[in-house]
Amino acid sequence: MPMEHRLSPRKEAILRALVEEYIRTAEPVASKQLSDQLARIYGGSGYASATVRTELATLEEDGLIYQPHVSAGRVPTDLGYRYFVERLMSESLLTLEEQRLIHHQFYQVQHQLDEWVRLTASIMAQALQSAAIITPPRAGEAHLKHFELLSLYETVVLLVLVLQDGTVRQERLVLDAPTTQEELSRLAHHFNERFFNATAQAVGAFAVAESERFSPSERLVVESLARMLVHLDILTPDVFYREGISQLLQREEFAHTDSDRIRRLVEALERNRFIPAIAPQVMAADGVQVIIGTENEADTLHDMSVVVARYGTRGQLSGLLGVVGPTRMQYSRAIAIVRYMTELLNDLLAETYGS
């Protein structure tokens, strides 16, 4: 069903009640149960059992709910959750007590960026009993701070590159002739003066313009620097923190899940199998994003939902944070926590590093 098509008010009330009840109980919701619940809320005869059954049938035809077994009640589909999140869900806020507790925890770690990141993951995991993920803030464009050339063996050299945001990368190079450490240090010093704070584009343009003046060793070093900076411009977060995998696996959804399914899910969460796929869209957008079930590119997460957001300032220091849980997720609560932690980190980064 196209999301721009709006359900009738009665269908929306039934779908909302069904989704909220299924999230609460993890059990398929029967029509009689819905009828009684809606009659108490709205009163009148608009939600008699026969009427609710008829509306449930049309919701099923629209692909918003389904019946796991002939005699069972209904459960939401991914499309049903999507309609609920976009049109029916009530806004949720953290209580003042929760906000005070979180602020107190951050006050204890002061200006320790690594601890902010770890603490954010821990708070989200505990609050939602789900897995939480966060990447440390990175510059939107790689800027070179300095690099070193270390002699390993005759013609083999280790190029160690350090960015302005503290990221470190290294790569082995093979020169065309043996070179002493003194010569390597002199070469590095020369180009470090030229390339301080340079981007991939600047280094690449210099390499093209001055290539005829380079020795073979200089050309290799400059081209390697440009290539490494280009790679670092592509957001593929290889450093990230995660918490709450054990809490996630204690959810009812995993009570009877086979071990192979659990193994693949744990691997996806622990080995960063899905963040690179969602990072470009998350980093390019504002606000909290919800990725439900089969909207995830990773097959392992097709029965999971991800609530995620970018924090920091686009084009400057920024990262992503979010939670991963079953599609039967408390979406309003998850969105509220992700939004609050995003705003808190934004404020901390602005205070520490400037807006």
Is the pLDDT at 139 greater than 80? The verdict is: no
Return d(Cα 49, Cα 40) in angstroms, integer: 13
CA angle 65-93-319, nearest 5°?
85
Rounded to 10 degrees, the C-alpha dihedral 327/329/335/337 comes to -130
The boundaries of every CATH 1.10.10.10 domain in the chain are 9-88
Rounded to 10 degrees, the C-alpha dihedral 217/218/221/226 comes to -140
Average pLDDT over the chain, rounded to an integer: 89
DSSP letter string over 315-343? TSEEEEEEEEEESS--HHHHHHHHHHHHH
Q: Per residue in 55-113, pLDDT tens? A: 999 999 999 999 998 888 999 999 999 999 999 999 899 999 999 999 999 988 877 88
Instruction: For strands 131-134 and 65-66, give the pairing.
Output: unpaired
The b/e string for 117-144 (b: 16+ C-beta within 10 A; e otherwise) is bbbbbbbbbebbebbbbbbbbbbbebbb
Is the pLDDT at 355 greater than 60? The verdict is: no
| CATH class name, domain 96-139+236-353 | alpha beta
Q: Per residue in 180-202, pLDDT tens? A: 999 999 999 999 999 998 988 89
Q: Give the CA radius of gyration of the chain.
A: 26
235, 330, 323: which is closest to 284 by C-alpha? 235
319, 256, 293, 343: which is closest to 114 by C-alpha? 319
Distance of CA 210 to the CA centre of its chain: 41
What is the CATH T-level fold of the domain 9-88, as seen in this structure?
A: Arc Repressor Mutant, subunit A (1.10.10)
Tokens, residue 328:
């039967």
Provide the terminal-to-terminal Cα distance of the chain, rounded to the nearest Å. 43
Is the pLDDT at 17 greater than 70? The verdict is: yes
Return d(Cα 311, Cα 234) in angstroms, integer: 18
Rounded to 10 degrees, the C-alpha dihedral 150/192/196/311 comes to 0
pLDDT class for 15, splitting at 50, 70, 90? Answer: very high
Contact 265, 300 (CB under 8 A): yes
pLDDT class for 47, splitting at 50, 70, 90? Answer: confident
Return d(Cα 18, Cα 2) in angstroms, integer: 20
Return d(Cα 74, Cα 288) in angstroms, integer: 28
Is the pLDDT at 128 greater than 80? The verdict is: yes
Is the pLDDT at 39 greater than 70? The verdict is: yes
Tell me 29's DSSP state: B
pLDDT class for 136, splitting at 50, 70, 90? Answer: confident
Contact 296, 265 (CB under 8 A): no
pTM for the predicted model, two decimal places = 0.75
Instruction: Specify the 3-state DSSP secondary structure of 180.
Output: coil
The boundaries of every CATH 3.30.450.40 domain in the chain are 96-139+236-353
Please give the biggest Cα pair distance in the chain.
90
Q: What is 144-233's CATH number, 3.30.1050, 3.40.50, 3.40.190, 3.30.390?
A: 3.30.390
Q: What's the pLDDT at 43?
A: 74
